Amino acid sequence: MVRQTDAFRLPGYDFVDPGLLAQALTHRSAAPLHNERLEFLGDALVNLIVAEALYQMWPKADEGTLTRARAELVRESALAAIARHMDLGAHLVLGPGEMKSGGHRRDSILADAVEAIVGAIHLDSGYEACRAAVLPWFDTAIAALPPPNKIGKDAKTRLQEWLQARGKPLPVYKLIGESGDEHAKRFRVACTTTDPPFECEGEATSRRAAEQLAADCVLELIGV
């Protein structure tokens, strides 16, 4: 094992059994006692905790809206963002191969570790303590959600539908740059519309995500 977990303090929770936290931070490449089973448990708990919060926050929202909002909050990139806010990558226990390939920066590994930690908290102290500790991690993302009637359609879809409804040409997306090492690439994409004449750029760890950011920027310029 090539990383240390002793220095890591989880925001909002102190483990009764530190061994559970150590297991949650251990990738399968590093040791036989790793975090995959905890991840399985944590995945279900994260979905429940977020679903409860949305159910209480939007009493008039239908099932489809709640489902789409939950998916937005618990998607891999959202959980990886939580991990980065905690600087979780610096405390993961990875095998030499994963370390060399930059596994501590990979969204999938970071998101899995977050779910494993949630599972570990539940085993350590039960559901109520788990919910109390975990829900604040989502506060910023929940506050950033659009109104319920705008949930469910991504920026590219909304931009395309807005232009189509007015008989205007569809947007054009163009990859204009790549940077970073192979395991940590970033993509810069431009989204251009001719009527109205706007162009925005987006940059992210995938081309699709960069396109979404660029489209969202154009929507803001249009005022949609």
Q: What is the enclosing helix (H) or strand (E) of 156?
A: helix 155-165
Distance CA 222, CA 224 (A): 6
List all residues 6 or more positions away from 194 whose beta carbon is below 8 Å from its beta carbon.
Answer: 168, 169
Handedness of CA 205, 206, 212, 214 (dihedral sign): positive
Whether 52 has a binding-site annotation, put simply, is no
Whether 36 has a binding-site annotation, put simply, is no
Handedness of CA 63, 64, 70, 74 (dihedral sign): positive
Whether 39 has a binding-site annotation, put simply, is yes
Distance CA 135, CA 156 (A): 29
Catalytic residues, by residue number, are 43, 115
Residue numbers in the known binding site for Mg(2+) are 39, 112, 115
